[in-house]
Amino acid sequence: PLLSPSPPAFNLSQEGLVPSRRLGNVRGAAGPPSPPGRRARPPAPGAGRLSGAAREELRRRLLGLIEGHRVVIFSKTYCPHSTRVKELFSSLGVDCNILELDQVDEGASVQEALSEITSQRTVPSVFVNRVHVGGCDHTFQAHQSGLLQQLLQQDPAYDYDLIVIGGGSGGLSCAQEAAVLGRKVMVLDFVVPSPRGTAWGLGGTCVNVGCIPKKLMHQAALLGQALTDSRKFGWEYSQQVRHSWATMTEAIQSHIGSLSWSHRLALREKAVTYVNSYGEFVEHHKVKATNEKGQEALYTAAKFVIATGERPRYLGIPGDREYCVTSDDLFSLPYCPGETLVVGASYVALECAGFLAGLGLEVTVMVRSVLLRGFDQEMAEKVGASMQQLGVRFLRKFVPVEVQQLERGLPGRLKVVAKSTEGTETIEGIYNTVLLAIGRDSCTKKLGLEKIGVNVSEKTGKIPVNDEEQTSVPYVYAVGDVLEGKPQLTPVAVQAGKLLARRLFGGRSEKCDYVNVPTVVFTPLEYGCCGYSEEKAGEVYQAENLNVYHTLFWPLEWTVAGRDNNTCYAKIICNKLDNDRVIGFHVLGPNAGEITQGFAAAMKCGLTKQLLDDTIGIHPTCGEVFTTLEITKASGLDITQKGC
């Protein structure tokens, strides 16, 4: 064989240069390559005749390919001189990136562009570390003189081994791991203020405006419920209990500040350069960093990781940016939001609505379609029902069309005009605060990715990557919420970033496993899940091949407190065709996150219904209900609880 194993070939597409795993496996291949000594069929009429703009774009992509790889060989499968050059690099143990010009539709145009760049009209055309070595004869002469070895040993003079753009959980995880492995690393992080002017420090969404403050405010609301329950347990207090929003936010922001400082200290201890500037690619391997004063600096690196995350989406209606807040603003809001309209039915929307209601505020949730899209819909409706029991009002099938300010103030008064999604009905409501939680947009639009050819989904703004988090530009990687089709969760980004650094710089091969990732929705009654929803399991495995075990349950803590005995719910989805393996786990109840975490590990190990049955539960706990499940949905038997 010519090369064994075959080095990666490259597919020159309109979107950029995309790695192809097998030599010759490229778009536009006409079939098996012509044997040595025979010419391939001529290009179709008109091939190679590109417009000026198209020719310039092709030239840019070619330079990007040359810029981004150690060795690039432009070749033709039937050319014996190309074969000799490829065999030479194979004998040297050097990985080559090969573009077979007779196997791509625009091969003639590529060869013409190459001749303009190099003044060489034939193949092979060899580049080593961005230096044009030449054709077959020149390459062998360079090898005999030692020049080729010198070029192969040279590393381009980059400022850093790795620059991470984005200082959130995934970016910091990757940067610190790379530094531990001895690499020179920079982190560029800059928070563009929200329309309300809110900004924050190092640490990304999770630390500053996501998981951490959300869970703490959730806890504040649970303490309020515990106060109510405590009277039934004998606690007597006559003083009226009130909640102070200012005290809570001050304490939470103080904790967040300490976490942000800890991140900065960790970077310093690991000798990672942290620059509070906005990173933007200006050319291959080079970024421009702009700080809050508009001062610019240029940095280069051998590799880059995009970890810029997402920001809340706005409705695009009159008054939304002027008068509404998002999760970017809520957790540091300097005043109690008062009566609040939450627009959206995402987990962010329901979590925020839940803790605001738990703090004693009047809360309305406006829902365009379904609750918790993408989650198990039976569980989602049970979450909604549990929130309604706590006094949260739901406006279904409506969307806002205008927000007007009636009174200035902290919080002030707003009028919201909304329209039905199912007809012409229009309604109005008066609120102190309007919180938008309708989704998030990836922060990829102003990074200069188009200048270096990184593919970005036009529909979602997210970055497609392969199973090693590599983008369409081989030296650029991405982790976290900017990835196309991956779970948008902090622990996922942390794991992916750490493993990416180990593969790039530590000689490791482990990849991030995006299957069976557990998560929890921190509504007042928490919802934890891992694996398939019932709907998705039915699509993948067919409903007749599934056993769905379920039950309602009554936490012991709720009995004395007199809380409802048929609200909490447990469900597992099992694949009959695979020994009743558990492929979906769902629980609605107190501390669902803690319960789900343990069972997620068991699912990684291949948990089956029989293994659950063989497990002795811890009594009295909520988690033990999964060791005693007996009723399937198909049986139609009653699952309501009559006693403890």
Q: Which residue has the tokens 């009174």?
A: 407
Strand residues in 474-606 grouped as ranges (E):
476-478, 519-521, 527-531, 546-553, 568-575, 581-588
Q: 134: which strand partners? A: 126
Can you give the three-state secondary structure of 325-378, one letter per residue? ECHHHHCCCCCCCCCEEEECCCHHHHHHHHHHHHCCCCEEEEECCCCCCCCCHH
Lookup: tokens for 572: 């597992």
Distance (Å, whole) CA 583 – CA 602: 11
The residues near 628 (Cβ < 8 Å, ≥ 6 apart) are 617
Q: Pick from 248, 266, 259, 246: which is nearest to 212 by CA?
A: 259
Distance (Å, whole) CA 449 – CA 284: 10
Lookup: tokens for 376: 């198990």
Is the link from the previous residue into 42 a cis peptide, with omega within 30 of 0? no
Annotated active-site residue in 69, 81, 285, 619: 619
How many other C-beta atoms are found inside a 10 Å radius of the C-beta of residue 253? 16
* 196: DSSP letter: T
What sign results for the dihedral spanned by CA atoms 28, 31, 34, 40?
Answer: negative
The residues near 19 (Cβ < 8 Å, ≥ 6 apart) are 8, 10, 11, 466, 470, 474
Can you give the three-state secondary structure of 16-28, one letter per residue? EEEEECCCCCCCC
Q: Which residue has the tokens 């060795």?
A: 71
Could you give the angle at the alpha carbon of 554 between the alpha carbons of 548 and 556, nearest 5°? Answer: 135
Per-residue burial over 588-607, b if 16 or more Cβ lie within 10 Å, else e, is bbbbbbebbeebbebbeeeb
Distance (Å, whole) CA 344 – CA 262: 34
Q: Pick from 455, 471, 469, 474: which is nearest to 7 by CA?
A: 474
220: left (phi over 0), alpha (psi -120 to 50) or beta: alpha
DSSP string computed for 87-111:
HHHHHTT---EEEEGGGSTTHHHHH
For the question of residue 218 being annotated catalytic, the response is: no
Query: Quick one: CA torsion of 85, 91, 96, 102, rounded to 10 degrees?
Result: 40
Decide if 19 contacts 10 (C-beta within 8 A).
yes
Distance (Å, whole) CA 54 – CA 57: 5
The residues near 261 (Cβ < 8 Å, ≥ 6 apart) are 201
Which residues are marked as active site? Answer: 619
